[in-house]
Amino acid sequence: MAIKIKKLSIKNENEYSEILKRAKGDISDALDIVIPILKDVEQNGDAAIRRYTEKFDKIPVSNFKFHTKDLEANIPENWKVALEKAKSNIRQFHAAQLKTKTEVMVNGNRLGIKYTPVESVAVYAPGGKALYPSSVLMGAIPAKIAGVKNISLITPPASDGGLNPVLLYAAQIAGVDTIYTIGGAQGIAGLAYGTETITKSEFIVGPGNRYVTAAKSYLAGIGQIGIESPAGPSEVLIIADKTANPKWVACDMLSQAEHGEDSVAILTTDSYELAQEVDIELKKALTERPKRREMKERAIDDNSYILVFPNIDECIDFSNLYAPEHLEIITQNYESDFEKIIHAGSVFLGPYSPVAMGDYISGTNHVLPTAGGSRIYSSLGVDTFLKRVTYQEIRRESLIELYPFVKTLSEVEGLDEEHGTSVYLRTL
């Protein structure tokens, strides 16, 4: 394993422009595969769902719909305790995000905003390399707080064709009503269009592979479903100075690499000594903790960097250009450094705040924008599932006062005959 160490200056964009172009979750080639699947499921429903599941998951499918209240999750007690603690913290943090009706008087008129939840939400929990009961909690709990009436979970079938009990337990405590053991683009299509077995969902959240991402992005693009944001490979950027513990920094980078070969871990620092020490610790850690070693090595070798800038301010400037999914700030002055951050999915402040805390237990959401998406998207939250409904009550006195302006503006737009008249008639 050999991570790339580069000395850079923020003034020389050509030195780091390729790093900013990291994997954007390019789904163009995946769409060629995904779109026919989506159309097939739209037209043929359950039959297409079963056919693709047998083709891709190599599992014959009969029943793939389960109601959480009808099942019992047999998992170790300490797993239950950990999931319940995570639920409590996630709920407490997200409950603070709930919005209430707001009103303001403008020119004598009562204007306001009320918030209404989407009717139905589906949470996608990946299968494959790892199980993610935490993603079930992260997706379903904010939806429940927002007031979503129907919450479902969709996840690839277990090796025996059934439902993994830890995902079931997470779904039960998070407020999920229905579980579908279907994965991939065919599962997303089933939720988007509805089938004989699957109830149509208006909104789909949660991470998945590139085919799931392609399906979500395409269906959102044609207005068939809502999604939280387009997703690419998971990533962390760390801003650290000489006070940082190199062993901890290396472990944080590898915890990101542990997600998959396409994951990205970047350390930015003003200390070349720290850069060298982290390089050494990365190599040691892979020997000491060999689980998923090949995956972690690929992510570190192919996608990750240690970038040495002249000072921490330039590290911050680079971070704002990169707009990372996860950002750790491990500097002596991390509070003041954080004030300069404008683009990041979720930020972890100080030496005792590894990303894993946010992934599991602190209470913030781990469903985050990737690949620079934090420049325009936010983390999943209660407001993801709320729609703003504006309203107004116009007073007659104000209508009379404002009519001349309506008359002028409607004439400018050529709509005075009806727009203007609809106000004028009320002044008589």
Q: How large is the greatest C-alpha to C-alpha distance in the chain, in angstroms? A: 85
Q: Is the torsion defined by CA of 337, 339, 344, 348 positive or negative?
A: positive
Under 8 Å CB-to-CB from 375, ≥6 apart: which residues?
A: 323, 343
Q: How would you classify the pairing of strands 109-117 and 386-393?
A: antiparallel
Closest CA to 167 of 75, 33, 258: 75
Q: Out of 94, 259, 314, 326, pick the active-site residue.
A: 326
Active site residue 326: yes
Among candidate residues 192, 201, 197, the one with its CA nearest the CA of residue 61 = 197
| CB count in 10 Å sphere of residue 87 | 19
DSSP-assigned states of every residue in 259-287: T-TT-EEEEEES-HHHHHHHHHHHHHHHH
Q: From the candidates 281, 325, 328, 366, which is the catalytic residue? A: 325
Distance CA 13, CA 1 (A): 27
**Beta-sheet pairing, 305-308 with 264-269:** parallel
Q: How far apart are CA 236 and CA 327, in angstroms?
A: 6
Residue 88, classified by CB atoms within 10 Å of its CB into exposed (0-12), middle (13-18) or buried (19+), is middle
CA angle at residue 292 from 229 to 322, to 5 degrees? 35
Distances (CA, A) of 421 to 108, 399, 413, 418, 425: 21, 12, 14, 5, 6
Q: Which residue has the tokens 């000072």?
A: 311
What span, in angstroms and rounded, lies between the C-alpha atoms of 194 and 120? 12
Q: Which of 201, 289, 207, 215 is nearest to 253 (CA)?
A: 289
Kind and range of the H or E run holding 358: helix 355-360
Look at residues 3, 23, 16, 22 and name the one whose alpha carbon lies nearest to residue 301: 3
Could you give the 3-state DSSP secondary structure of residue 357?
A: helix
Going by C-alpha positions, the residue among 149, 151, 148 that lies closest to residue 124 is 151
The residues that are catalytic are 325-326
